Amino acid sequence: MAAEIRCQHICLTTDRLAETRDFYVDTLGLVLANFDEAFGVLALQLADGFILRFEARGPAEPSSIQFLGFELGSFEEVDRLHDELSGRVRIVEDLRARFASKKGPYGFIIEDPNGYRVKLFRYGSRHKPDAAG
């Protein structure tokens, strides 16, 4: 029998620890689990218990990761967050129109202070396609 395995955390590098903390806590509302500037550690907790960890071990390497995917609770929450963030951060790509009437990641992509892309989405179809086609 295979062991039950779940992803508990991911660790990314940064040379902007405080700015990264502010972005994820103040802008996205993640829960601060640990911040120790002396040790160069930042840990943020998502609603499902997953930990997003940053360590101050040099500059970020965003090219090594396509994006961090954060699924939201509803399509309305995606739209609300898009409206709230669009005046505060640059929207790298808006996927909402493409997936409004077909199954997929209805959401948008932003960039954190390190250059890591963050996809905020709800998987599914926002609107049911017309029966007529």
pLDDT (0 to 100) of residue 101: 84
Q: What is the pLDDT of residue 128?
A: 60
For 81-127, the pLDDT digits (tens) are: 999 999 999 999 999 998 888 888 999 999 999 999 999 999 887 77
What is the per-residue pLDDT across 20-58, written as a single tens digit (0 to 9) for each?
Answer: 999 999 999 999 999 999 999 999 999 999 999 999 999
**How are the residues of the chain apportioned to helix, strand and coil, as percentages rounded to the nearest 5?**
20, 35, 45
Domains, the chain: 1-57 (3.30.720.120), 66-133 (3.10.180.10)
Which residues pair with residue 111 across a beta bridge?
117
Question: What size, in residues, is the chain?
Answer: 133
Residue 129 pLDDT greater than 70, yes or no: no
DSSP class of residue 97 equals T
Alpha-carbon gap, residue 56 to 53, rounded angstroms: 10
**Alpha-carbon radius of gyration of the chain:** 17
Across the chain, how many H-helices and E-strands are there?
2, 8
131 pLDDT tier (thresholds 50, 70, 90): very low
Give the pTM: 0.83
